[in-house]
Amino acid sequence: MATVSKVFKEDSGVREKLPTGIVVAALFAALVGLLTLAVVNVYSDVNGAFATAITLNTGIGPYSGKELFWLGGWFLSWVVLHFALRKKQLNLRSWFGTWLIGMAVATLLMYPPVFEFIADALKGG
């Protein structure tokens, strides 16, 4: 069966129209948002007053403020990164590898035994 890789030649011409900075900006904005969520989550475990302060809805508690920080960090950083990188040709392979490592860290930081361990260490427990 014919495949696209046989039908179409590998060609990076698309990067001339749309630089890879756009890709890096989109990927890293998502990562910034998720790391912001992780940091806010740990800090709300450490500081009860902060957890209360970010409770925007009593029904869902501090989770409401955590989501606001997540979305705010994500979309604000996307705007900033997009305008900073949109005309740059970046090494996609190395930036993508860095992003994957960042995603692994963000995922680990959301695992309760990990973030509770960090929060306890910061509290001195």
Partner 1 sequence: MDFPVFSRIRKMEPSLATLLILMVGAIAVIGLATAATAPLSDLLGDSQWSVISVFHGLGATAFLLGATIAVYLAWRLYIGEIRAFKDLKWLSAFSTIMSAVTIGFGNWIYIGYRAAGGPRAYFVTNMPAIHQVFFEFKEFIALFTLPMMLVGTFLLWTYGEDIVHDKELRAAASLPILLGWVYLILAYVLGAAITKLAGV
**Contacting residues toward partner 1, per CB under 8 A:** 1, 3-5, 8-15, 17-18, 20, 22-23, 26-27, 30, 33-34, 37, 41, 59-61, 63-64, 67, 70, 74, 92-93, 96, 100, 103, 106-107, 110-113, 116
Least gap, CB of 49 to partner 1 (angstroms): 20
**Which CB sits closer to partner 1, 79 or 100?**
100
**Which CB sits closer to partner 1, 76 or 103?**
103
Q: What is the dihedral of CA 49, 64, 77, 74, to 10 degrees?
A: 140
Contacts of residues 101-110 at CB distance under 8 Å and 24 or more positions apart, as own/partner, are: 102/28, 102/31, 102/35, 103/31, 103/34, 105/35, 106/31, 106/34, 106/35, 106/37, 106/38, 109/35, 109/38, 109/41, 109/42, 110/34, 110/37, 110/38, 110/41
Least gap, CB of 62 to partner 1 (angstroms): 11
**Which CB sits closer to partner 1, 18 or 121?**
18
Least gap, CB of 13 to partner 1 (angstroms): 7
Question: Which two tokens mark 20?
Answer: 């890879």
**Which CB sits closer to partner 1, 13 or 125?**
13
